[in-house]
Amino acid sequence: MRNEIEKITISDIARELNITAATVSRALNDHPGIRDSTKRAVKETARKLNYQPNKIASSLRLGRSKIIGVIIPSAEINFFGSVVHGIEKVANENNYSVLIYQSNEHIEFEKKGVKTFLQSRVDGVLASISKETINLDHYREIINRGVPLVLFDRGNDQLGVSSVLVDDYAGAFEATRHLIMQGCKRIAHIGGQQHVGIFNQRLKGYVDALNVHGIGVDDDLILYGKVSIDSGRDCMQHLLSISSRPDAVFAVEDFTAVGAIQAMKAANIRIPEDIAIVGFANETFGEFITPSLSTVNQQTTVMGESAARIFFEAMKTNAYYKDGPRKLILEPKLIVRQSSMKIKKGIL
Amino acid sequence: MRNEIEKITISDIARELNITAATVSRALNDHPGIRDSTKRAVKETARKLNYQPNKIASSLRLGRSKIIGVIIPSAEINFFGSVVHGIEKVANENNYSVLIYQSNEHIEFEKKGVKTFLQSRVDGVLASISKETINLDHYREIINRGVPLVLFDRGNDQLGVSSVLVDDYAGAFEATRHLIMQGCKRIAHIGGQQHVGIFNQRLKGYVDALNVHGIGVDDDLILYGKVSIDSGRDCMQHLLSISSRPDAVFAVEDFTAVGAIQAMKAANIRIPEDIAIVGFANETFGEFITPSLSTVNQQTTVMGESAARIFFEAMKTNAYYKDGPRKLILEPKLIVRQSSMKIKKGIL
Q: Where are the domains of chain B?
A: 10-53, 63-166+300-329, 168-297+335-340
Q: How confident is the model at residue B75 (pLDDT cuts 50, 70, 90)?
A: low
The pLDDT value given to residue A193: 86
Q: How confident is the model at residue A54 (pLDDT cuts 50, 70, 90)?
A: low
Once rounded to an integer, what is the mean pLDDT over residues B72-95?
87
Contact B39, B30 (CB under 8 A): yes
Which range among B20-34, B119-133, B188-202 shows the weakest confidence by mean pLDDT? B20-34
Interface touch A288/B88, C-beta < 8 Å: no
Residues in A lying within 8 Å of B, measured between beta carbons: 1, 4-5, 9, 11-12, 57, 60, 65, 67, 69, 74-76, 78, 81-82, 84-85, 88, 92, 97-102, 104, 109, 112-113, 115-116, 119-121, 229, 258, 262, 265, 284-285, 288-290
pLDDT at A137 over 90: yes
Task: Name the class of domain B63-166+300-329.
Answer: alpha beta
For domain B10-53, the CATH architecture is Orthogonal Bundle (1.10)
Once rounded to an integer, what is the mean pLDDT over residues B159-163?
93
Q: Cβ contacts (< 8 Å) between B257 and chain A: which residues?
A: none
Instruction: Please name the member of A92, A115, A289 whose beta carbon is closest to the beta carbon of B289.
Output: A289
**Residue from B10, B72, B102 to probe the interface with A (highest A Cβ count within 10 Å):** B102
Task: Return the SS3 of B277.
Answer: strand
Which one-letter amino acid corresponds to residue B248?
A
Once rounded to an integer, what is the mean pLDDT over residues B294-321?
92
CA distance A345 to chain B (A): 20
The structure's pTM equals 0.72
Which range among A145-149, A343-347, B44-48, B272-276 shows the weakest confidence by mean pLDDT? A343-347
Measured in residues, chain B has a length of: 348
* pLDDT, tens only, A286-305: 887 889 999 999 999 999 99
The pLDDT value given to residue B5: 40
pLDDT at A285 over 50: yes
d(CA A191, CA A198): 10
The pLDDT value given to residue A78: 72
Once rounded to an integer, what is the mean pLDDT over residues A324-329?
91
The pLDDT value given to residue A30: 73
Interface touch A67/B120, C-beta < 8 Å: yes
pLDDT at A100 over 70: yes
d(CA B42, CA B134): 45
Once rounded to an integer, what is the mean pLDDT over residues B212-221?
95
* pLDDT, tens only, A12-33: 888 888 887 777 877 887 777 7
* Closest CA relative to residue A242, chosen from A179, A175, A186, A176: A186
d(CA A175, CA A178): 5
The overall average pLDDT reported for chain B is 88
* pLDDT, tens only, B241-299: 999 999 999 999 999 999 999 999 999 999 999 999 999 999 888 887 889 999 999 99
The pLDDT value given to residue A53: 63
The pLDDT value given to residue B54: 52
Task: Return the SS3 of A152.
Answer: strand
Domain spanning A168-297+335-340: CATH superfamily: Response regulator (3.40.50.2300)
The pLDDT value given to residue A347: 43
The overall average pLDDT reported for chain A is 88
CA distance B4 to chain A (A): 8
* pLDDT, tens only, B115-139: 999 999 999 999 999 888 889 999 9
The pLDDT value given to residue A279: 98
The pLDDT value given to residue A4: 40
Interface touch B115/A97, C-beta < 8 Å: yes
Contact A28, A34 (CB under 8 A): no
The pLDDT value given to residue A15: 85
Contact A174, A141 (CB under 8 A): no
Helix spans in A228-281 (H): 229-241, 254-266
pLDDT at B347 over 50: no
Asked, colleague to colleague, whether A10-53 and A168-297+335-340 share their fold, the answer is no
